[in-house]
Structure 1
Amino acid sequence: MADGQPVDSADAFQAYASGPRSQEVWDQGEHAVIGVSAGNSYFTQDRLAGLLRWAARHFATIDVIYTDVHIDTMLVALGNDAGHAAKLAKSQIRDVRRRTRRAVERLGASAEKVRMQPMSSFFERAEYQAVRSRVGEAVDASERLATACKEMVHHFLDGREVPGERVPHVMGAGLEYLLAELPFFVDSPGILGVGSSAVCYHVSTPIVEYFKEPDHDVLSAAPNQGYLVVRPAAWSAGADA
């Protein structure tokens, strides 16, 4: 559970600010980032539509970033052959793109607030590359940050059976995906060109907990970077991580 009491419960969603700085970003209401993972059963079209309605009520602009990278790598690490993994990854990407697009369309006039972009579209952007370089150097230099990243991968794998011999492969693939995503936790305002920004997810994560600590050893989040836990009020936290 994130800090404090729920700061909002509109549209049957509850939001929690992860610390005072995140509360300030929430109060500013300038921009929200919503990441949508492929193959994650939490992100149904109805749930996405509700989440976007909630975000549109409380933020001036929204970036929805859906996963389209490293999916095949993870599927191979889990034991699929490369050909099957490639086909399954394409299917999952098509599905997450379709669900996300339809959820945005259901916003009506508020859809004007939303930009929908694939993760891969950022890889050649200078702002993203600069943060990604800092992230890679920091993970190599800090055991504490590397541990938080490993815990994050374990969090995403929670409940999934992974054969013992495949654990190193799965951890490596998971870290590869996480390093692509991590820049948005560090400086989404700089990458996306906004004054302040809140990353919204339905559970708190080890990475968010790392950035909440006051004494970061090698990597700090931007001062205008916030984090919110946002989920349906009736949802159980153990349901779909």
Structure 2
Amino acid sequence: MPSQPDFEVGGEGAVFEARPFTTNCECLVEKGEHALVGVSVGNGYFSQYRIAQLLDWTGRRFASVDVLYADLHVESAFRASGMDPEHAARRTHRALRDVRRRIRRAVESAGDVPARVRTVALSEIAEFPGYRTAARRIDREIEQNPLLRAACEDHVRHVLGPAEDPEGARFRAGMDYLRAELPFLLSSPEVLDVASSVCCYHVLMPVLPRLRGEASCFHPRQGHLVLRPLRPDGTYEDAEVS
């Protein structure tokens, strides 16, 4: 991540260090028009308590908040890891049921935040015209731009391990999952039809620094904010990329 001063986290008792990816991202956070909170299915970091904390933090700083969970390509990822189809289907059903329940309860327990809060599944938004337009453009760019394709492949290696076979099923599933997320990472204002949007996650997604200089990849009002959870003693809590 580029060197940036810590963004003002808020009042006493705040539980996150907030760090914008770029100075443009910092400006978009200050505008506070829209936040996108990504919740990864199967990542234990996203407990009901943690999601409620994220909603409380973003809900007091942004006019509207979308909580997004990716329900596409989950079963194919399980199958690519070696599960038989029946086991993968059961595991997917449980994982999605659990993440929906945690999000629903977190929204209920987050308290009275000023923002408009909405929960959306990737499968729902994949039908939005803005998503389809952004996905087609990004897919075309991946095929034509070696830098973007290499950045995506390196991201998948970071998540799965550097020795992962790029021709293997797990690697292909990882690429499919990332490509489904890229419209949000690079163009969420277009996807969600908002003036500007800040993606909030607990780590900087590995693909983003590789693309920082590629202005054509990013919507001009696309922001990214790393929200790192802090323990009471001020140290960071560990969290995985997923």
TM-score, normalised to structure 1's length? 0.90
Displacement of 1:111 in angstroms is 7.4
CA contact (8 A) 1:104 1:111 kept: no
Say if 2:65 and 2:115, in contact at 8 Å, map to a contact too.
no
How far off is 1:238 after superposition? 4.7
Amino acid of the structure 2 residue aligned with 1:79: G
1:46-78 C-alpha deviation (Å, 9 max, x unpaired): 111111111011111101011211111000100
Distance in 1, Cα, partners of 2:44 & 2:150: 26
Shift in alpha-carbon separation, 1:81–1:166, aligned structure 2, 3 A? farther
Instruction: Quote the residue 2:219 is aligned against.
Output: 222
The letter for the 1-side match of 2:102 is R
Residue of structure 2 equivalent to 1:170: 170
Aligned match of 1:57: 60
- Mapped to 2, the partners of 1:144 and 1:119 lie a distance apart of 26
- Greater RCO, CA 8 A, separation 6+: 1
Partner of residue 66, structure 1: 69
Structure 1 unaligned regions, length at least 5: none
Q: Is the 8 A contact 2:80 2:173 kept in 1?
A: yes
5+ residue gaps in structure 2? none
Offset, 1:79: 0.3
C-alpha separation between the residues in 2 aligned to 1:22 and 1:112?
A: 19
Q: Which of 200, 205, 229 is 1:232 aligned to?
A: 229
SS at match of 1:203: coil
Q: Which residue identity is paired with 2:209?
A: E
What is the alpha-carbon distance in structure 2 between the residues aligned to residue 205 and residue 125 of structure 1?
A: 24
- For residue 133 of structure 1, give the secondary structure of its aligned residue in structure 2: helix
Residue aligned with 2:60, SS: helix
**1:12 and 2:49 equivalent?**
no
Q: 1:183: which partner in 2?
A: 183
- SS at 1:114's partner residue? strand
Name the SS of the counterpart of 1:110 in structure 2. coil
User: Quick check: which one's helix share is greater?
Assistant: 1
What is the TM-score with the length of structure 2 in the denominator? 0.90
1:185/1:80 Cα in 2 relative to 1: closer, same or farther (>3 Å)? same
Partner of 1:109, secondary structure, is coil
**Judging changes above 3 Å, is the alpha-carbon distance between structure 1 residues 210 and 231 closer, same or farther for their aligned structure 2 residues?**
same
Partner of 1:195: 195
User: Secondary structure at 2:112's aligned position in 1?
Assistant: helix
Q: Which residue of 1 aligns with 2:95?
A: 92
Alignment size in residue pairs: 235
